[in-house]
Structure formats: structure tokens, C-alpha cells
Structure 1
Amino acid sequence: MASTPDNPRRGLPRVPGGEPWPPAGSGVPEAGAGEPAAPRAPLSVPRTVWPGAAASAVRERPAEPRRIGPYTPVQWLASIAVLGVFALALAGIAVLLARFVLALEPGQQFLAAFPGEYRLPEGAPVGIPAWLNWSHFLNSFFLLFIIRTGWQVRREKRPAAFWSPRGNKKRRISLALWFHQAIDILWIANGVVFVVLLFATGQWMRIVPTSWEVFPNALSAALQYVSLDWPTENGWVNYNSLQQLSYFAITFLAAPLAIVSGVRLSGVWPKDAEKLNRWYPIEWARRLHFPVMLFFVAFIVVHVGLVLATGALRNLNHMYAARGSVDPEAYASDPTGLLIFAASLLVMAVGWVAARPAVLVPIARLFGDVKQR
């Protein structure tokens, strides 16, 4: 039976042996199954607490920190600092270890047998000709923009403009990729001229190993560099064996790999050659092309550092002014090479600033159609 105010439903007693609750005649109905409990009157306690200004203030979300790639600038600086300390510690350990090895009697005997270079074949040319200076500058100039545009193509998400050949409007590439490939062509042309003149003039004997002694001498030169007791050298006459192997690798290994992988990734490669594409998948080229670029960057950093640290004026005279002598101290204070080197840096800086869409678009239109956003 449903409860009513006059006849409330009663439950169990509150105390053992007592009467059911609520007492009869109390007039307090009890909620039954499925019925809401009767509301209670609010307490008559005076209010003593009120919400402050902060309760109604509009709170702005903190601004997202600016990121460079996956990290913030502070995180990058902290990472670089930690890596720098770690690198300095490793370098210090390497120097101490190299000095220890060379101080031992076997190390001294090794240096006496292999001083860091070997005698070139009879008839090897002495000196660096002017054409090699020009080729060296052009190679540096083109590599600067190849690395810049290669990194831009890799990171670019919304190109500023697109280029299409006039004979094939369906093929469309970004302006940065067009500039990258155009500089590639100039770099390859300069490299072909360099290699032809290298073998025509006998200069190849300076960078192509002609004896198995190149390997122990290269190890000797490396130990001397690491120990900071650098080998006495005169690049006007002969490179040390570590230099020779490095120049050989960059000219005859890294450069061809960059060209072969770059051609595979470019529009020059035939898309419908199924057998050729199966023999040389595009994935191989992608995995090869970027590491080769990193190798070039590492070589440039080490090469420039050693040029400046092992006699900057003398080395720059060799490389930029074609001035040198069999005497390693000759031209050691001649500023000619330094001035030409400074002028070449100025040309590179001007080219770097000028390599923007406002300048590149008119040039690209000479060879195809350009569509800007």
C-alpha cells in the first residue's frame, strides 16, 4: 500500500525491541521505492563567505612557446651546451691517448717509418695552377647553394612558386627544386672540366693514391693531428696522405654518388623504364642522397678549419692566388690569398641574399613557366 500523509509507510525500528520508524501519528511520510525523498529546508546559518575577484576573472591560457623543430630555443641551447661539454671531454681524452701512443717507443718508430706522406711519382707537377683555383672557388660557390636548396626542398611545405617545362605543363616542381637542379648542372659541368684538366696536366697524382704507403701514412697524419702536434706539410709540393685520401674520396666517391642519386630523384630519370627502376629503386636514392650531403657538410667544416689552423695565409695563397714555393715558409705572410678569399666570401654572401623568388622567378621563366601563389 502506498504511503500517505495520514498513513505513512513505516520501516524497521531504530532500537532493538522498539516500534517501527517513524512513530505512529508523527505525520512524517517516508519515501517508498522509486519515490524521491522529501526536500529538507535550508539551514538558517548567516552567510560569511563570498566569492572573490579571482573567481570571476577570465583566465588566459599561457602562450605556446616558440619551437624550432621539436624543441624550444632554450631546449636547443641546453642540448648544445651538454653536447659541447661531452664533445670537449671526448676530444681531451683523444688528445691524451694520441700523445701517450706517440710517446711510446713503438709510436716513435712508426712516425719515423711513416712521417705522414710518401714520395710522389717522377714527373708529378709542383704547384697549384690558376685553373685549379678558379675550379675550387666555383665548386665552393655551387656547393653552398646546393646544400641550401637541398635542405630547403627537404623542409619546404608551401613553396612560393612552381616551375614547369614549356613542353610538359603536367610536370611541376617547386622553384627551390628547380634552382637546386639548375645549380647541380653547373656544379657537374665544373666538375667535369676539373677532372679533365686534372688528368691532362698530371695534377691527378697529387690526389689519387699511387702507393699502398698511403694508408699507414694517413694513420700517422691522423695521429699527429689528434695529438695537436700537427705534421709539417707543404701543399704546394705534396699533400699528406690523409689529405690525399680525403680529396680522392670527395672527388671520385662522394661526388659521383651525389650525382647518381640526384639524377634518380630528378625528372630526367625515365619513369616508364620498369627494368631500370627495378634495378635501381628510388628508395635507394632517397636513402643515399641526404647522407652524402651530410658528408659534404662535414668535409667542408673540417677542411676549412684545418686550412685556417695550419697556416692560413700560406694555404690561402695556394688555394686562391696560385702563389707558393718549395719552401714552406715562403708566402707565409703574403696577404694576397686572404684578400681573394675575402672577396670570394663577399660574392657568396651577395649570391645568398639574391637567391630569393623575386630574383629567381625571372631567371626560371627563361627556361619554362612559373606559377606563383
Structure 2
Amino acid sequence: MTATVRRGLPRVPGGEPWPAAEDGAPRAAAAATAPEPAAAPVPRVDPPEATVPEVTVPAAVGAASTAGLALRRGLPRAPGGEPWPPAAIRPTDRESAVSGARGVEPAASGLLEVELPAAIGPRPPLRVRTSVVPTAAAARWSALRAERIGRERRPEPEADASSQRTAVALVGGAAVAVAAGMTVLFTRWLVSTPAVAEFLTAYPGEYPLPETAPVGLPAWLGWQHFLNAFFLVLIVRSGLQVRHQKRPSAFWSPRRDPKRKISLTLWFHQALDVLWIANGVIFVVLLFLTGQWMRIVPTSWEVFPNAVSAALQYVSLDWPTENGWLNYNALQQLAYFAITFVAAPLAIVSGVRMSGVWPRDAARLNRAYPLEWARAVHYPVMLFFVAFTIVHVGLVLATGARRNLTHMYAAQEGDGWLGVALFATSLAVIAAAWIAARPLVLAPIARLFGSVATR
């Protein structure tokens, strides 16, 4: 008995149904009984738009006999084609073909007919073929998943940047400490040499003042010193806030020009500048009226070698012998002169150029003094003020805190505690002003001179 071989789907899209028509039952039977060779990897080819995905039903579901049943016809193999299989094929022929190909009885062929409702109609093709073989889509999904897992395990950028800053600060601090130690050791060796020791003897670090120079420090100088420190600390704080502020919480506008708006922090900075300048003008006037200018203005060329001598003594940690009640050493005199008559005027001139009082429509004046020059000067001058304050306070505390503070704040000679108490009180006032300098406190004060609007 010759069995008819059932022809299935083509091996490639658009090809002939498999097996070929000339292949007979013996070849099918041999193919069914022979061990199946290892399947070669099939290249991924996207199916045409009308291709219907295959539905595989396991043979273990159960064997069912199709004898006496009408042949089930499914969806067409091509758009607009005849339902498959053709009507000429009979169930008995199909059953015999399956049995002959597999070498089993028709009733035990293990085929299960799965009939799809006709109302479903053709379905769109799958975008990605479901297969155990890795595909391009599966590779992309795996890459995205690996990237997400790596991103979750990667440290946060802010934490990483903070760790880097901490490491740089630690390494930089250690390098500065080592450099400072080496500098001290080298300077101590240098001052022990005969030539440098002779130089220190000839120039002890200070020179005599003019005979008309006053003795001692007046009380007004102590008040000026406190006010200068008070304004300077708040100016530096508000200036840094203006420099790094991106979204101000409040704005101030003058009454004469309501359209002009500046941040409340910038208004506070400029208001402090005005007060600081007024205090500085009073300080300079009193300096020349009372003769105190001779203490901070060099009156002899000997100031320079004596300044070098004082610097060597400071670096070698062998503090120079001094008495600020009578005279400053040459290094102190140059420092006070620079802070009063060089740094302060540069800060004022550059600040005025950057402020709103500068005429913006003066083309020639703006070309002669560009805004970029003012910005290039203003910030380094601020750093100089900060460095001077740190060194100044450190030396005041390290070279006899009670005596120096009594001279500066109590305007008295001696080692009493009044100057220390006044100094501590001034620090408390500065700290309170630092904490109070916020929009809640500044806004009512700013409204006295203009209008304040919040964001």
C-alpha cells in the first residue's frame, strides 16, 4: 500500500512546500525512522506581513483518531488565497500519510487537531520571532538590562565628586604640611649661618619711628578695628553668595527706577560696601589728624631689609621681639599699609565698576575701564583680604594674645583680660549678624530704601 506524504510549510519564505512533490513514501518513511540530524542554525528572516505564526501542540496531549471526521481547513497560506489544506485532500489520505511517514497506526499518530474560530481572521505577524536561538532583539534587550544593572551599581555622581574633593583636600593638606615643615627646617639652618646671623643683627626687624610719632593706641582705633572686621566678614559672605547664587529668593528695586531689579543678596552686599567705605574714610581721616599714620606708613627705606629680617624670624618660629604699643615691626607695617592704601582702594574701584551706580551708557568710559578688568581684580582682592585676616589673627593669638588684644580692643598697655573679653564679645556680635543675614531679616530693612518682591 502506497502512502501519500503530507506536504507542510515551505522551508524558506516564498519557497515550495516541503517535502518536494517527487519525494515518495519510502523516503519519508526512511526519514521518519532515521535519526534526525542536528539542525543547522537558521538565519533570522523577518516573515512577510501576511505570515501567520506557527502553533505547535505537544504530542503528549493525547492521541485522537480523525476517522470519520471532516477535514479541518485553516487559514490561507497567502493573502487572498484558498484555505489550507485544499478541499481535494481527504482525511483518510492525510491520516495514512502521517501513519506511513511515522510508522505508526493512524489511531495512535499522536496528532491533535486545534481548530481556530473563523471569526478571528488573519492576525498581524509577530515583530520578534520567539525562538531559543539568540536574536538581534534579544541581544539588544540583554545589553539594555546589563546597562541598567551597571548604572544601579555605579556610585552616585555627587557622592563620587565629594569623595574626590575629600581625597584632594587630604592630599593637599598633607603636602602643605610637609612643605611647611621643610621650609621651617631650611630657614632655621639658614639663620644659623654666619652671614644671615650678621644680617639679622644689623636689621632686627624694626626701625625707629619719627620723633613726632604718637605713643600708644587710641580708643577710636579699637572701634574702627571692630567695625572694619564686622563689615569685612559680612561683605565676603554676601559676595560669595552673589557669586554662586543661581535662583535668588527675593529681589530689590529702587523707588526711582522700579524696573531695575537686583537680588536681595546683592543689595545687602552693596549696602555693606557703602558702610565699609564710610568707615574707611573716617579711619583714614583720623589717621592723619592724630599722627597715627606714621605707624603704618613707611618713613624710611630701612623698612625693606627689616621686613626680610622679620619674615625670616617668623618662618624659623623664633618670633621677633616687638611691642605693638610703641611700634610695629617692618613686616607688619608693610602689611597694614598694603591693606589700607592698596587693597582697599582696589576693592572699592572694582566694586563700583561692577555696581549699579556705574554709568552704563558711557561708551568711552566703559571702553577705558572694561567690566572684565574689574571682575579680574575684585575676586583676587577678596582672597587677599581673607588671607590677611587669617594670618593676622593667627599671629595676634600666637605672639601674646592677652597683650595684643588689650592693645587693640581695650586701648591699654598690659596683659589684662579686658581686651580678651571685648574680643570675645565682638566675635559673638559678628556671629549673630552672620546668622541674621537672611531674607526674613533683610527684607524689612531693604523696604526702607525700595521695594522687595519675592519669586
TM-score (normalised: structure 2): 0.68
Cα distance in 1 for partners of 2:364, 2:24 equals 99
Structure 1 position 260 matched with structure 2 position 349: yes
Match of 2:409 in 1: 320
Distance 1:370 1:232, change over 3 A: same
Cα distance in 2 for partners of 1:128, 1:255 equals 22
The one-character-per-residue Cα deviations of 1:118-172 (angstroms, maximum 9, x if unpaired) are 1111111111100000000000000010000000000101111000000101211
Distance 1:154 1:40, change over 3 A: same
SS in 1 for 2:395: helix
Asked whether the 8 Å contact 1:206–1:238 carries over to 2, the reply is yes
Match of 2:230 among 141, 160, 163: 141
Per the TM alignment, residue 81 of structure 1 is displaced from its structure 2 partner at its CA by: 1.5
Distance 1:202 1:67, change over 3 A: farther
Distance 1:364 1:64, change over 3 A: farther
Match of 1:86 in 2: 175
Look up the equivalent residue of 1:71 and give its one-letter code: A
Match of 1:367 in 2: 449
Per the TM alignment, residue 179 of structure 1 is displaced from its structure 2 partner at its CA by: 0.2
Match of 2:276 in 1: 187
Look up the equivalent residue of 2:432 and give its one-letter code: V
Match of 2:198 in 1: 109
Bigger RCO (CA 8 Å, 6+ sep): 1
Cα distance in 2 for partners of 1:161, 1:364 equals 11
Match of 1:284 among 373, 382, 385: 373
Match of 1:343 among 411, 425, 428: 425
RMSD across aligned positions (CA): 3.2
Look up the equivalent residue of 2:428 and give its one-letter code: L
Per the TM alignment, residue 75 of structure 1 is displaced from its structure 2 partner at its CA by: 3.0
Structure 1 position 243 matched with structure 2 position 325: no
Match of 2:310 in 1: 221
Percent identity between the aligned chains? Answer: 62
SS in 2 for 1:231: coil
The one-character-per-residue Cα deviations of 1:21-72 (angstroms, maximum 9, x if unpaired) are x9999579xx9xx998xx9999x9xxxxxxxxxx9xx97946964849x931
Match of 1:300 among 389, 396, 402: 389
Match of 1:168 in 2: 257
Per the TM alignment, residue 282 of structure 1 is displaced from its structure 2 partner at its CA by: 0.4
SS in 1 for 2:251: strand
Cα distance in 1 for partners of 2:21, 2:308 equals 103
Asked whether the 8 Å contact 1:165–1:367 carries over to 2, the reply is yes
Match of 2:161 among 60, 68, 71: 71
Match of 2:75 in 1: none
Cα distance in 1 for partners of 2:250, 2:18 equals 89
Cα distance in 1 for partners of 2:206, 2:155 equals 57
Point out 4+ residue stretches in structure 1 off by more than 6 angstroms: 22-25, 39-42
The one-character-per-residue Cα deviations of 1:68-106 (angstroms, maximum 9, x if unpaired) are 9x931x333322221111111101111111111110000
TM-score (normalised: structure 1): 0.83
Structure 1 position 206 matched with structure 2 position 288: no
SS in 1 for 2:452: strand
Count of residue correspondences = 338
Asked whether the 8 Å contact 1:162–1:371 carries over to 2, the reply is yes
Cα distance in 2 for partners of 1:322, 1:9 equals 121
Look up the equivalent residue of 2:422 and give its one-letter code: I
Cα distance in 2 for partners of 1:4, 1:86 equals 81
Match of 2:434 in 1: 352
Cα distance in 2 for partners of 1:5, 1:357 equals 84
Cα distance in 1 for partners of 2:158, 2:227 equals 36
Look up the equivalent residue of 2:303 and give its one-letter code: V
Cα distance in 2 for partners of 1:213, 1:177 equals 44
SS in 2 for 1:162: strand
Per the TM alignment, residue 219 of structure 1 is displaced from its structure 2 partner at its CA by: 0.5
Question: Highest Rg: 1 or 2?
Answer: 2
